[in-house]
A and B are shown apart, each in its own frame.
Chain A
C-alpha cells in the first residue's frame, strides 16, 4: 500500500467510522481539507455519505485527485457535481416486493471475500444497501444492479481526465453487512482499492 493515506471524507465532526478503527493507511478529514490542498497528500479518497458534498463540489480537490490519477470511492446520493461528468442520484419510485433487490453484475475488489448475496438485506429488509441509482457515465461498468430493471447502484469508471471512480449510490458500503467482521472487511477493501492496489 502507498505510504500516503487515503482520505476518508466525513462530516465536519470527522468521526472515524467503527469499521476503520483498526485499519492503517486512512486519514479522516472533512470536505474543507480538499479546498486548496494539493492531491499529493493522499493516495486516493473515500467520500462518505455524510460528507459536505456542496463544499466538495465547490472546491477542486476531487477533480484534482482524479487528474493526478488517484481513485475516488463515492458513497451516498450524488446530489452536487462532486464527480465531473456524473449525473445526480435518481430514486427508484416503486417500493415493495423485489423493487430494491440487488443483482451482482460484475466482480469488484470492494467485495473481495464477501458473500454479496448476503448484502441485499439486513434483518430480512431491503433498502439499506440503496434506494436508487446514479446513471453510469459512458464507459462505466455496472457492478451491482438494483430493482427489477437492474439499474446500476454500483459502478466502476475510468474518467477521461484520469484516475478511477467507484460509485456506491447508497448507504456507506461498510454499513450494509450484517456482521461486524464483514463490515471491517469491506472497509479494508475500500481503503485498498482507493489507495490504488491492483485487483486481487
Chain B
C-alpha cells in the first residue's frame, strides 16, 4: 500500500466517498482538510489525491506546496471540477459542453486508453473510465496523454495526462469520481474508485487496459 492522502472539503460527498463507502473507507488514506492544504505536511506521502470539487481557491493557495511535493518525488493526482489547472505547468484546460446523457442518446464518448503500459491501467479500463466529463486538456506541453476522447475538430483530446515534474509527476484528469460516488450516483464512478484503490493498495492487476 502506498502512503497516500486525499483532500476532504467537508462536503457530504467527500465524507461519503472517503470515510463511509468502500473502497476508501477501508483504506489507510490520510485525509487532509482542504482549507488546511496549504499548510499540510506532505513529506511522508508517496501519493496525494486532490479529489474532485476541492475548492479552486484552496488549491491555488496550496499550489506551490503541491508542485514541490511532486518535484521531490511524489505522485500528485488532480481530479476534475477543480478550477482551471493553470497552476500545473504546461496544462491548458478547455471547457466542453458536458453531455450527461450520452448513454441515452447513444453518443458513445469513445474514450480510449492511450498509455496501456501505465500501471494505472492494469486496474482501470474503458468501462471504469466512462461517464460524462467536464472539459479536456487542449494543450498539455511536456505531458503524456493517458486517456483521450474525440475532440470537436476530430483530433483526440486528453482527458487524463501525466506530466513528469522533478523526481515525481502530476496526473491530471477532468473526471470527477469522488463527487458522484459520494452522491450515490453513477455506478461507473464506483468502478473507477474500486480500480484506483486497487492500484493504491498494490493489488494484483484486475484487468487489461481497454477491457
Contacts and interface: CB of A to CB of B under 8 A. Distances in A.
A67 interface: no
B94 interface: no
B93 to A, nearest CB: 16
B207 interface: no
A132 B184 contact: yes
Contacts of A78: 12
Contacts, number: 65
A123 interface: yes
A169 B103 CA distance: 26
A52 B12 contact: no
B209 interface: no
Interface string B2-31: 000000111111011000000000000000
A52 B185 contact: no
Contacts of A131: 183-185
B171 interface: no
Interface in A136-150: none
A13 B12 CA distance: 17
Interface residues of A, number: 28
B183 A13 contact: no
B56 A55 contact: no
Contacts of B16: 77, 79
B65 to A, nearest CB: 17
* B10, B55, B57, B104, most chain A CB atoms within 10 A: B10
A42 to B, nearest CB: 20
Nearest to B8: A54
A11 B57 CA distance: 10
A80 interface: yes
A11 B184 contact: no
A50 B11 contact: yes
B57 A51 contact: no
A74 to B, nearest CB: 11
Contacts of A51: 11
A125 interface: yes
Nearest to A125: B104
Interface string A80-94: 100000000101000
8 A-B pairs with least C-beta separation: A54-B10, A52-B10, A12-B55, A79-B12, A77-B12, A79-B15, A13-B55, A91-B184
Interface of A: 11-14, 30-32, 49-55, 76-80, 89, 91, 123-125, 127, 131-132, 171
22 contacts: A12-B35, A13-B55, A13-B56, A13-B57, A13-B83, A14-B57, A30-B55, A49-B11, A50-B11, A50-B53, A53-B10, A53-B12, A54-B10, A54-B15, A55-B10, A77-B12, A78-B12, A79-B15, A79-B16, A131-B183, A131-B185, A132-B184
Given A13-B56, A123-B104, 6 more contacts: A12-B35, A12-B57, A54-B10, A54-B33, A78-B12, A124-B104
Interface of B: 8-13, 15-16, 33-35, 53, 55-58, 83, 100-101, 104, 183-185
